[in-house]
Amino acid sequence: MKSKLFTGSLLASALFVSLWGAPVMAQGTNTPAVDRAQLAISARIQQGMASGHITPSEARELYRRDRDIEMREYQMKSNGNVNPQERQRLRADVEGLAAEVERMMANSSVVGQGRDNTPGIDNVQANIGQRIDEGVRTGHISRRDARRLHMRERAIARHEASFKRDGVVTPQERRQLREELNALRDEVERLLQGNRRR
C-alpha cells in the first residue's frame, strides 16, 4: 500500500512539474537545487493528502504558493541569468514552503480517517474551502481573511478527527461539527456578499 502511495505521489509530482515546470525548463535550468526542492515539496503535499495530514484546500494553497515561486523563478531567468541575490531569495521561499508542509505533516491530527466516515460533513468542508479559494481568486476575500478562515477550517477538521478516534461519531458530535461548519460557511458568504456590494 505504501509503495502504491509513493509511486502515485511521484507520478503526480512528475505531472505537476511537467505542467507547471515546462516554461522554466525551456529557459535552461540553472537553479537545479530549487527545482529538486520543489519536486520534493509536491511529493510531500501528495503524501500529506493521502495520509490525511493536509486537507484539499490546504493543498491548493500550498500548490498556489509553489506556482508563485515558480513564476518568480521564471521571471528571474528571463534575462538568461539568476544572480546570487535572486538565487538566495528563491532558496528562502522554497525553504519556507517546505517548512510549512513539514509542519502540517508533523501535525498529529489526521483528517478523514477512522471507521466512522462523515461524507456529508467532508463535502461541506470541501465546498467551504472552494468558496474561500474562489473569494481570494476574485478579490472578494483578502489573503489575510483567507488564512484566518482556513485556520478555522483546520480547527474543525481537528475536531472531526478527535471525534473519530474512538471509531464512532455520535449524533451530538455531528451536530457540533455541522454548527461549526455552518458558522464558518456563513462568515465566508458574508465576506463574499459584503465585498461584492462595495
Structural contact between residues 111 and 163, judged by C-beta atoms closer than 8 angstroms: no
Same domain, 99 and 9: yes
Residues 6+ apart with CB under 8 A from 32: none
The pLDDT of residue 30: 67
**Structural domains of the chain, count:** 2
Among 76, 107, 138, the domain-final residue is 107
DSSP state at residue 116: S
Q: What is the pLDDT of residue 196?
A: 58
How confident is the model at residue 164, as a pLDDT? 78
Contact 43, 76 (CB under 8 A): no
Q: What is the pTM of this model?
A: 0.47
pLDDT (0 to 100) of residue 143: 87
State the pLDDT at residue 169: 81
- The CA distance from 114 to 162, in Å, is 10
pLDDT reported for residue 5? 46
Q: How much is the pLDDT for 20? A: 43
User: What domain range is 8 assigned to?
Assistant: 1-107
Buried b (16+ CB within 10 A) or exposed e, 94-118: beebbeebeebeebebbbbebeeeb
Same domain, 84 and 113: no
pLDDT tens-place values along the chain, 198 residues long: 444 444 445 444 444 444 444 443 333 346 788 888 888 898 888 888 777 778 777 888 888 889 898 888 888 888 878 888 888 888 899 999 998 888 888 765 555 444 446 777 777 888 888 888 888 888 999 989 988 998 888 888 888 888 877 777 888 988 999 999 999 999 999 998 876 555
Per the CB < 8 A criterion, the answer to whether 17 and 39 are in contact is yes
Decide which of 74, 92, 107 is a domain's last residue. 107
What pLDDT does 117 receive?
A: 62
Longest dimension (CA), the chain: 61
